[in-house]
Amino acid sequence: MELKPYQQQVIADLSMFLEYIQETKDVKEAFYDFWAKHPKTPLFPFVGTAIEPYKNNIPRVPHICVKVPTAGGKTFIACNAIKTIYDSFPLEKPKAVIWLVPSITILDQTIKNLKNPSHPYRQKINAHFGNKVEVFDKATLLQGSGFNITSIKEQLNILVFSFDSLRARNKEDRKVFQENGNLQSFEAVLGKENDITLGAVIKYLNPLVIVDESHNAESDLSVDMLKEINPCFILDLTATPRNNSNIISFIDALELKKENMVKLPVIVYNHQDKTEVINSSLQLQRRLEIQAIEEEKNGGKYIRPIVLFQAQPKNGKDFINEEEEKSNVQKLKEKLIELKIPENQIKIKTANINEIKNEDLMSKDCEVRFIITINALKEGWDCPFAYILASLADKSSAVDVEQILGRVLRQPYVTKHNFPLLNLSYVLTASSKFLETLDNIVKGLNKAGFSDKDYKLVNSTTIEEPKKQNPLAQLDVFASNEQLVKDSSEDITADIDVTRISMPAETPSTTISEIEKTAFDQNEIFERTVSEIDENKTIVLPNEIQQLVKSYSIKNIFKEEAKKISLPQFFLKVPANDLFGKKEEELPLEKENLLEGFKLSQEERKIDFASISSELYKVDLDETKSEHTPTFVRLDGLVKESVMAYILDPSRKDTRVKNFTKRIMDIIGNMYPIPDKEIEKYIKLILEDFTDEQFNDFANNEYTYTDKIKNKIKFLSEAFAEQKFKDFLDTDKVFIKPSFNLPTNISPGTTSKDITKSLYEKEGSMNGYEEKVINEIGNMTNISFWTRNIERRGFRINGFVNHYPDFIIQTKSGKTIILETKGDHLDAEQKIRLGNFWANKAGNNYRYFMVYERRTVDGAYKLEDFLNLIKNI
C-alpha cells in the first residue's frame, strides 16, 4: 500500500516544515516561513488575513496539525510521518511514539491494526524501521513485558493510549504514575533516587506524540497532559482542527474524490413521512445491489450495499434505559421482517445492543443489508458497503445526522466503479423542519472534514421555512420526569404503514428515478471537473485555502491573446504498455528519466574536506535558549560521547567504515532515484581513504562532512543527467511540444507593485532588481504583456534540472520571451545551458534570456545589452 498523491503532499509539507526548523532553529519562524513560501500557495501568517501565527502551546516542542477528512487515511499518513520526523533527530535518540486516541473503540482498532504484521500500517512502519518495531498497550507496558532499557535502544516502540489513560482521572489510570517493579531495568537511566514509574519512563523517552482526532484533546487538562509526557514533537490528526491548531497541510474533498477514497457528493432527498423513507431505502438498496452484481459479473469487486436506519426517539435524545432502547429498535426490526426481509439481513447496533460484533460485513458469506442504529456508529466503525443513511426521526423533528453521516462516505475498495450510482452516497429523511435538517447534514459533513459543497439536494416539495417563534415557547420548564419518559418511550414505528411499502420492483418509483437522475448528473459534473483540471494542469486549492487566498484573473484586454499561448516543454518517448499494439507513448520528461544507468560507485570521489574548518556552522548558543527553539535541532559537536566512543573504538577499527557509512546514510536520507546501495558503496569508498585524524574530525562535525558528500553526489548525478539529456535530444528520444497554458487565475500570495502591461490584475512579488528589469520592459512600445512566473507552480523548463524562469513576456510581433534575472553574486550555468537548449528546440517564436545586472557570463546577457536587444524583438 503506497501513499496517494494528496497523502504524499502531506508528508512533503511535513518534511518542508522540518527543513525550515533546521534552517531557522526556531519553531515560530519556521511556521511563518513555511506558509510565506509554500510552493502550492504562499500565505501570510498574519491574524485575520490568512493562516494565523504559530501558537506556542507547548514551549520548545513543535506542535503541528494535519487536516484530513474522514476516509482520507489519517492513520496511514501518520505511519509514514514517523520516519520523516525521526529523520530530523540525532540518530542516537531512542525512538518512541506515544499514539493517543479518543475512545476505547478506536484504541482497540488502532492496537489491532498496528500489531498485525499483514496490515498495511504495520508493513509500512516495518519497512521504514527494518522490522525493528514493537507495539504496546497500557497493560503490557505496566507489566514490563518486552519493554525494558534494552528494547528502547534497539527498536521503534509505539505506545498506544487513550487520552483518558494519561489524564489519571481514576484509580486504574493512576497506575501509569505509580511505582512499578516491572520497570526496574530503567533505574539505570532514571536514577536510584527516583520512583520508577511508567510515566517517568515515558518522560525520559522524550517521545514523538501522535494525537488522533486531536480536536478531542485541546482542553487545559489535555494540554497539561501533553506537557507532562515531555514530547519532542506533536503531530495532530483531525478532520476538524480547532482554533488552537497550527495547521501545515489541508486536504480537500476533491482530492479524496479524485483518488476514489469517498462516495461524494451526498445525494439528499426529503420525503413526506417515515413510510416513504423506508420504501425508498428498500428500493434504492435493491437498485444499487443489482448494479453491484452486474459490476462483479463484468470483472468488478463484490459489493453488497447496506442501509443504515437511524432510529431516534421522539425527543431526539438517547433512550432512557436499555430495555426502552431494545423495545424501540426491535419494533423497527419487526416492521422490516413484516415486509418479508429475511431476519439475517437485519442487525441492530446501538449503545447497548451489538449484533454486528462478530460479523465481517465485507465478506460474501455475510447477508447483512440493513443496520438499525441511533448514534452508536459515530466513530471507529468503517464499512464501505454502507451507502444509504435513512433517518426515521419524527417528522416534526430536525433530523440530526451530524454524528454518523461520515459512516456512509468511505468508497469500497478505493476504486471508481463503472456504475455511477455506486460512487455516491445517499441520505433519505422525512422532516417538516428540513432546513434545520440540511443544517445538520452540513454539520455532519463539516465534522467529517467536508463542506456544504459536498451534498446535492434532489428537488423536493417538502422543504418549508420553519415558522419563527419565541424559542422559549417551545420549552416546558415544568415538564415532569414522567412526561419525559412517556415522550421518549413512544413507539417510533407507530406511524409506519407497511401496506404503503412496495417491495423493490424492476421499474423504479418516481422518487427513486429523481434520486438516480440527480446522482447521474452530479457524477457527470464531477468527472467533467476532474477532466478539466487534469487537462489544464490547474492546481485546485483546498476549500479552506480558497477562503484565505486572493486570486487574480487575466485582464480582459489580454484574455484572447493569452489563450493562444501554449509554451513548449520537453517530452520523452517510452515503450508503451498497451494492449492495442501501441509501441510508444509520450510522457513529460522528469529528471529521474535521465538517471537510468547512473552508477554512483563508479564515479570519481575527490572531495575537498580540508576546507571544512572554515565552513563549520556558526551557531549562537543563546539562540538555542529561545522558548521557540526545539530540542532536536541538528548541530555539529552535540553527538553523545557514548555513541562516538563506540564508533571510534580502536578494537572496532575493522568495522569503523561500516559504522560511519550507516550513520552517514541515515543523515543523508532518501536521494531518489539514486539507489541506496549505490550511495552506500560510494560512501564506503570515500571512507576507506580516511586517516584516524579525519575520522575523529568527522565524529565532531558529522553534519558538515555529510553535507559535503551529499553535495558531491548531487553534482555527479546532475552532470550525468545533463549528458544523458544531450544524448536523448540528439537521438530524438527527447523532443519538445506545446504543453503549458497560462492559467486564467493565479494566487501568488504576496504581490508586487503595479507595473504597466502586467497580464494579471496583480502579479507575484519581486525583489528590487526584478522590479527594475520588468518596469523597463513594460514601458517598451513593442511589448504586449508580461507576467511573473510563480516558482514551483508556473511554467517549468523541465530537463536535467527543473527551471522556473522569472518572467514570461509576449511581444506584439508574436514572440514569447522567457526571462530569468540573476543577481551578480549568483551562479546559474546549468539554467543557462538548459534555457538555451529549450530555445533552440522551441522554434522561432520563442526566446530565452538569462540577464545579470553587470556581470559577464557565457551564454547570458548584461542588463544594458539585453534591454537594447529586446526592444527590437
Q: What is the CATH number of the domain that holds 780?
A: 3.40.1350
Residue 104 covered by a domain: yes
| pLDDT given at position 594 | 94
Please compute the mean of the pLDDT values over residues 152-173 and round it to a whole number.
Answer: 80
**C-alpha span between 419 and 403 (Å, rounded):** 29
What average pLDDT does this structure show over 822-831?
A: 88
- Structural element, H or E, at residue 82: helix 74-86
771 and 679 in one domain?
no
Judge if 291 and 411 occupy the same domain. Answer: yes
Of 124-128, 327-331, 382-386, least confident by mean pLDDT is 327-331
The whole-number average pLDDT for the span 199-220 is: 84
CATH at 191 = 3.40.50
**469-493, pLDDT tens digit by residue?**
333 322 233 233 333 333 434 566 7
Q: Which residue has the higher pLDDT, 21 or 636?
A: 21
Residue 476, pLDDT score: 31
C-alpha to C-alpha distance for 251 and 214, rounded to whole angstroms: 16
Three-state DSSP class for 658? helix
β partners of residue 811: 783
- pLDDT-derived band at 358, boundaries 50, 70, 90: confident
Task: Please check whether residue 556 is in contact with residue 466, taking contact to mean a CB–CB distance below 8 angstroms.
Answer: no
Greatest mean pLDDT range, 45-59, 214-228, 541-555, 847-861: 847-861
DSSP conformation class of 376: T
Q: What is the CB neighbour count within 10 angstroms for residue 811?
A: 21
Residues 227, 197 share a domain: yes
Name the residue among 288, 578, 261 with its Cα closest to residue 412. Answer: 261
Last residue within a domain, chosen from 191, 224, 252 = 252
Q: Check residues 58 and 632 and name the one with the higher pLDDT.
A: 58
Half-sphere exposure of residue 49: CA atoms within 13 angstroms, side-chain side:
11
Number of domains, the chain: 4
Amino acid 546: pLDDT: 74
pLDDT for residue 622 is more than 60: no
Segments forming the whole domain that contains residue 77: 57-252
Amino acid at 380: G
Those residues with Cβ within 8 angstroms of residue 800's Cβ, 6 or more apart along the chain or in another chain: 591, 594, 718, 721, 722, 724, 725, 830, 834
C-alpha cell belonging to residue 295: 459490476
Given the DSSP bridges, would you call strands 370-373 and 566-575 parallel, antiparallel or unpaired?
A: unpaired
Cell triple for 645: 566512543
CA distance 674 to 677: 9
Q: In the listed set 681, 700, 717, which residue is the last one of a domain according to the structure?
A: 717
Give the pLDDT score at 488.
39
> Is residue 63 domain-shared with residue 160, that is, in the same domain?
yes
186 and 291 housed in the same domain: no
Structure confidence at residue 523 (pLDDT): 87
Name the nearest CA neighbour of 96 among 130, 59, 132, 60: 132
Would you say 680 and 660 are in contact if contact means Cβ atoms under 8 Å apart? no
Residues 300 and 379 in one domain: yes
**Residues 131 and 272 grouped into a single domain:** no
Per-residue pLDDT, 502? 75
Q: How confident is the model at residue 220 (pLDDT cuts 50, 70, 90)?
A: low
- Amino acid letter at 790? I
Residue 321 has pLDDT above 60, yes or no: no
- 404 and 291 fall within a common domain: yes
Query: Residue 286 domain-assigned?
Result: yes
Whether residue 132 contacts residue 96, with contact meaning beta carbons closer than 8 Å, is answered with no
User: Does residue 347 sit in helix, strand or coil?
Assistant: strand
* Same structural domain, 127 and 228: yes
Residue 511 lies inside a defined structural domain of this protein = yes
More reliable by pLDDT, 371 or 447: 371
| Domain assignment of residue 545, yes or no | no
Mean pLDDT across the chain: 84
Residues 292 and 441 in one domain: yes
- Cell, residue 825: 553574486
Residue 850 domain flag = yes
Segment among 12-21, 34-43, 309-318, 399-408 with least mean pLDDT = 309-318
**Mean pLDDT across the stretch 195-204?**
91
Same domain, 213 and 297: no
Range scoring the smallest mean pLDDT among 49-53, 270-274, 733-737, 760-764:
49-53
Does the residue 571 lie in any domain?
A: no
Ranking 123-137, 322-336, 514-528 by mean pLDDT, the lowest is: 322-336
How far separated are the first and last CA of the chain, in Å rounded? 53
Average pLDDT over residues 108-129: 94
By three-state DSSP, how is residue 134 classified? strand
Q: Given this model, what pLDDT does residue 834 score?
A: 96
Instruction: Find the DSSP H helices in 731-828.
Output: 768-778
Beta-sheet strands, E only, within 36-132: 63-67, 96-101
Confidence band (pLDDT; 50, 70, 90) for 412?
Answer: very high
User: Tell me, what DSSP letter sits at residue 157?
Assistant: E
Helices (H) and strands (E) in the chain, counts: 28, 26
Rg (CA), the chain: 32
The domain boundary, picked from 717, 732, 755, lies at 717
Return the ∠ at Cα 102 (arms to 98 and 105), rounded to 5°. 105
Give the CATH number for residue 279.
Answer: 3.40.50.300
pLDDT tens, residue by residue, 255-285: 888 899 999 889 999 888 888 999 999 999 9
Q: For residue range 630-687, what is the model confidence (pLDDT) as tens digits?
A: 766 666 655 555 555 655 666 665 678 888 898 888 888 788 889 999 999 999 999 9
Residue of 616 and 123 predicted with greater confidence? 123
pLDDT (mean) for 420-428: 93
Task: Pinpoint the alpha helices (H) of 746-828.
Answer: 768-778
Model confidence at 812, pLDDT cuts 50, 70, 90, reads very high
Query: Residue 684 falls within a domain, yes or no?
Result: yes
Share of the chain above pLDDT 70, in %: 84
User: What is the structure's pLDDT at 446?
Assistant: 85
Residue 211 lies in a domain: yes
Are residues 334 and 205 both part of a single domain?
Answer: no
The three cell numbers locating residue 109? 482498532
Contacts of 555 (CB under 8 A, 6+ apart): 758, 759, 760, 761, 785
